[in-house]
Homo-oligomer: A and B are copies of this chain.
Amino acid sequence: MEALKQKILSEGKVLSESVLKVDSFLNHQIDPELMQEIGREFADRYADAGVTKILTLESSGIAPAVMTGLTMGVPVIFARKRKSLTLTNHLYSAEVYSFTKREANEISISQDFITSEDTVLIMDDFLANGQAVIGMINILQQADAQLAGIGIVIEKGFQEGGRKIRNQGYRVETLANIAELTDGKVTFMKEEKVV
């Protein structure tokens, strides 16, 4: 998605060969119009997949997921990273290790909102080692729900997550797939279509 790639090139900060900071439009400050474009793009790519719900993870997945849900006309569920006092029992849970934050979190959703009748689009802001997506797939398996596919805003194509998940036969749609972060520069994967 060209508008997203241009935004990454103009505002993304390469902090190391594995860390790209996009705090000015996605992870801390949010650009609502860009999120709307992202939502329309995912809705278009998954238009024929029979999606009934979108599952994402707090916090940075929420904005693109809600915009996608608005276009598709389906509800969005965000998995929580810790249990809160008002959401304690009747949960599907999975353990997710975050390499960015160097900690393990339990992610959970209420059993009320995803059932075996649902076909779910999993979404997240970043795909790197794939831990969060694998945790969400695990949750869908517990709910016996169908997985339509995975929608990722920015993939770090040089890390193993995308390959691992695609090798399991799942569909992964990525709007900006990064080949490398070297010399402070972002290089995108060549195989992506250029508009």
Taking the complex as formed, is A44 at the interface, i.e. its CB lies under 8 A from any CB of chain B? no
| B75, A101: Cβ atoms closer than 8 Å | no
How many identical chains are in the complex? 2
Residues of B within 8 A of A186 (CB): none
| A28, B110: Cβ atoms closer than 8 Å | yes
Q: Which 8 pairs, one residue from A and one from B, show the smallest C-beta to C-beta distance?
A: A58-B59, A32-B70, A32-B69, A30-B76, A62-B62, A29-B113, A59-B59, A29-B77
Q: Which residues of A are at the interface with B, using a C-beta cutoff of 8 A?
A: 15, 19, 21, 23-25, 27-33, 35-36, 58-59, 62-63, 66-67, 69-70, 73-78, 80, 84-87, 100-102, 109-110, 112-113
A75 to B11 Cα, complex, angstroms: 14
| A112, B24: Cβ atoms closer than 8 Å | yes
Residues of B within 8 A of A66 (CB): 30, 32, 35, 62-63, 66-67
A69 to B69 Cα, complex, angstroms: 17
Residues of B within 8 A of A110 (CB): 23, 28-29
